[in-house]
């Protein structure tokens, strides 16, 4: 196939000295030009077909691109929706967990405060019991202090001897026996006990006035 440069630079042999070209050279060139143009036409037709196919494929690609773009947009929307839903669920879970934790903390604080109040109430009850025991034992100690001591007994004995003095009682001396007419024997009177000292006392065991009091291990607070 001829090129543009070959066509422009073609040269023919002279037919005669006066001028003109040889017919066979011109005809051969014309045949080559025709062949070249036919080849170009064929190639052009092939190129047109290729361009049509490429245009059709390009249109298909454009349609596919639109489909892909729509699919990508749909996928992006679904992805955004899934992400938003996941974030909402995560936020809800965190919020519920925080509320639950706050509720647990409040319950723990409330139970702690209740236990503190119970402990303080027990302390108060113990203080009240201690005061009651102190008062009770104070009354017992006062009662014990009111009881007479050995010194009080000696003092009372001295006061009684001073206020009501007494003399020792002595038995009369025995008389000598005299002749008496025979009489029926009489029973001798019971001889009174001999008391030699006014300070002598006969100990009589009798129930004490304070035997009903209980101290130490014998004392029961519930009574």
- Give 90-140 pLDDT, tens digit per residue: 999 999 999 999 999 999 999 999 999 999 999 999 999 999 999 998 888
Looking at the structure of the chain, the number of domains it has is 1
CB contact at 8 A, 21 and 14: yes
Whether 93 is in a domain gets the answer yes
- 9 lies in a domain? yes
Residue 212 belongs to a domain: no
- Cα–Cα distance, 50 to 44 (Å, whole number): 10
Tell me what the pLDDT averaged over the chain comes to.
76
Please report which confidence band the pLDDT of residue 160 belongs to, taking 50, 70 and 90 as the band edges: confident
Question: Within a 10 A sphere around the Cβ of 140, how many other Cβ atoms?
Answer: 15
Examine residue 80 and state whether it is found in any structural domain, yes or no.
yes
Confidence class for position 195, pLDDT limits 50, 70, 90: very low
Q: Provide the total of helices (H) and of strands (E) in the chain, helices listed first.
A: 3, 2
Tell me the pLDDT band of 170, cut-offs 50, 70 and 90: low
pLDDT digits (tens, 9 = 90+) for 51-79: 998 988 888 888 888 888 888 889 888 98
| Assigned domain for 158 exists | no
- Strands 19-21 and 14-16, bridge-based pairing: antiparallel
Angle at 197 between CA 194 and CA 203, to 5 degrees: 80
């Amino acid at each position: 196939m001829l090129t543009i440069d070959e066509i422009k630079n073609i040269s023919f042999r002279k037919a005669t000295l006066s001028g003109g070209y040889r017919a066979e050279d011109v005809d051969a060139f014309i045949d080559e030009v025709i062949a070249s143009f036919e080849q170009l036409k064929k190639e052009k037709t092939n190129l047109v077909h290729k361009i049509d196919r490429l245009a059709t494929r390009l249109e298909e690609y454009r349609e596919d691109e639109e489909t892909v773009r729509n699919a990508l947009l749909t996928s992006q929307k679904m992805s955004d929706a899934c992400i938003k839903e996941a974030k909402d669920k995560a936020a809800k879970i965190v919020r519920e967990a925080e509320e639950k934790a706050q509720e647990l903390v409040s319950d723990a604080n409330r139970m702690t405060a209740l236990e503190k109040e119970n402990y303080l109430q027990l302390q108060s009850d113990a203080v009240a019991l201690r005061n009651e025991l102190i008062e009770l034992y104070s009354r017992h100690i006062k009662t014990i202090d009111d009881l007479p001591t050995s010194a009080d007994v000696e003092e009372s004995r001295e006061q009684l001897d001073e206020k009501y003095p007494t003399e020792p009682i002595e038995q009369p001396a025995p008389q000598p026996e005299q002749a008496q007419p025979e009489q029926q024997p009489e029973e001798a009177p019971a001889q009174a006990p001999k008391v030699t000292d006014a300070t002598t006392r006969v100990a009589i065991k009798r129930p004490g006035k304070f035997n009903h009091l209980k101290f130490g291990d014998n004392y029961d607070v519930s009574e």
